[in-house]
Amino acid sequence: MDDYIEATRHPKLMLEDFLYELLPVFGFTVCASCIFIILTLKSEKGVLKIWLFFAITDLFFGATMIYAGFYGVLFTIYGNSNEVLNPFDCFPAAFHIPSLLFYDHLHLALLIFATLDRFINIVIPVEYVEKSKCYQKFGAFGVIAVCAALSIIPSFQNVYESRENDTIKIGIVCLLDEIIGESDYIAHLFFLQWTPIICIGILALVLLIYACRHLKQKWNYNWSEDSGLTKQTIMAIFVRCFLSALSIHLPMLFLAQVEHSRHYMAVKDYIIRMSYALVVPIFQPIWHLMIIEKYSENIGMFFNRYSYNTERKWQSMSDPPLERTAVHRVHLDRHGDVNPFGSWYSSTGNIAGEAGVPVDQQRSVSFYNN
């Protein structure tokens, strides 16, 4: 019987090992993609700074995936797969669990933040210029991050309260759904699935208002933002919301239809996160390049920063003189005849020519006015 149980567990263990080995690869790729976006948008202001907030958030997600992968590899290789422990004992070693939960809340908050920014821009375009300066700052991003951190505290309340309950045990790898509970995890997935779709609905309303405002000239004269940038940012937020929802719905449909899904359901959280990492943060520079014109210009400036011609067009007084060749020694007068003497006045204030001083042997001459 024990051999049968171990045999049925074997595919699950192999799948866990494979996923934990893939997590750092996805994490490093996400970090590289986010660092590239940060370097190209670091000097931007206005609505494009929101995409800088997304890049910083995704960079945190990539770093968390790297740690989660190494944590899983360490415990699957050197740990006992049959060992169990209280959920509270997973911390602080498994700090990637609250970090992933924090990222989810922060990302959803930024999606709502970016969607509401476009809604405000459409409804009150004139006042938007001044009002947007109040929240398109890193201070506002910090406030959103603090609120997201506080929002994950209730998820770990049961973990703290059951810290002395020896009847509650989970696996040593400390999965998110096992720590916070299956019911809380399902509710968490519900928000991950449907919050981007709600944002898509708001963006559809924004596009409708935008189209109505362009029907008549008197409704469109007081626009405070470049029309092209408005359409591009609306489309970029729409694409991110759509891909965020798609990256969660597709794995859930796959897990529901695949054979032997119980092996996959045990690690469904990491399957969903790798799907999300591949679709959203990793390929984000590509669909930014396709949608946002300003972003493509910044990329061109980024790669061409040191590729222009560095030949100096000016000469300093401390530069050494040019070597004189046979061509330089030939001096022609105003009539085109060869003249071994220079003109009356040289660039150094010396008299040449009729003073009898050859061009290559100039001397200093002083003048006095009595």
The per-residue pLDDT for 213 is 77
C-alpha 53/C-alpha 61 separation (Å) is 13
**Cβ 53 vs Cβ 112: under 8 Å:** no
Tell me how crowded residue 154 is: count the other CB atoms within 10 A of its CB: 10
**Cβ 264 vs Cβ 271: under 8 Å:** yes
Chain segment 29-49, per-residue pLDDT in tens: 999 999 999 988 887 777 888
The per-residue pLDDT for 201 is 95
- Work out the average pLDDT over 7-31: 77
Does residue 365 surpass a pLDDT of 60?
no
Residues 6+ apart with CB under 8 A from 185: 176, 177, 269
The per-residue pLDDT for 80 is 65
Q: Give which of 14, 57, 55 is closest to 38, Cα–Cα.
A: 55
C-alpha 204/C-alpha 238 separation (Å) is 9
Percent over 70 (pLDDT), the chain: 73
Element (H, E) at 202: helix 182-213
Residues 6+ apart with CB under 8 A from 62: 26, 27, 28, 29, 30, 31, 33, 34, 277, 281
The per-residue pLDDT for 54 is 94
The per-residue pLDDT for 195 is 95
Chain segment 113-167, per-residue pLDDT in tens: 999 998 988 888 777 777 888 888 899 999 999 999 999 999 888 888 888 887 8
Q: 11-291: what fold?
A: Rhopdopsin 7-helix transmembrane proteins (1.20.1070)
Chain segment 57-97, per-residue pLDDT in tens: 999 999 999 999 998 888 777 766 677 888 888 888 888 99
**Cβ 232 vs Cβ 291: under 8 Å:** yes
Residues 6+ apart with CB under 8 A from 137: 49
Query: pLDDT: is 118 or 222 the higher one?
Result: 118
The per-residue pLDDT for 244 is 94
The per-residue pLDDT for 68 is 92
- Using alpha carbons, list the distances in angstroms from residue 164 to 14, 105, 175: 32, 28, 20
The token pair at 220 is 């469109």
Chain segment 309-361, per-residue pLDDT in tens: 555 555 555 555 555 444 455 556 556 666 555 444 444 444 444 444 454 55
Chain segment 162-177, per-residue pLDDT in tens: 888 878 888 888 888 8
**Cα 217 to chain centroid, rounded:** 37
The per-residue pLDDT for 105 is 95
Percent over 90 (pLDDT), the chain: 31
The per-residue pLDDT for 237 is 93
Q: Which residues is 358 bridged to in the sheet?
A: 341
What is the residue extent of each domain of the chain?
11-291, 329-355
**What is the average pLDDT score of the chain?**
78
The per-residue pLDDT for 1 is 38
pTM of the model: 0.76
Which of 89-93, 100-104, 217-221 reaches the highest mean pLDDT? Answer: 100-104
- Work out the average pLDDT over 182-192: 90
The per-residue pLDDT for 346 is 47
The per-residue pLDDT for 263 is 63
* Cα dihedral 233/236/238/241 (nearest 10): -130
Q: Give which of 370, 367, 347 is closest to 359, Cα–Cα.
A: 347
Does residue 274 surpass a pLDDT of 80?
yes
Amino acid in position 63: A
The per-residue pLDDT for 218 is 59
At residue 268 the predicted structure's pLDDT band, cuts being 50, 70 and 90, is confident
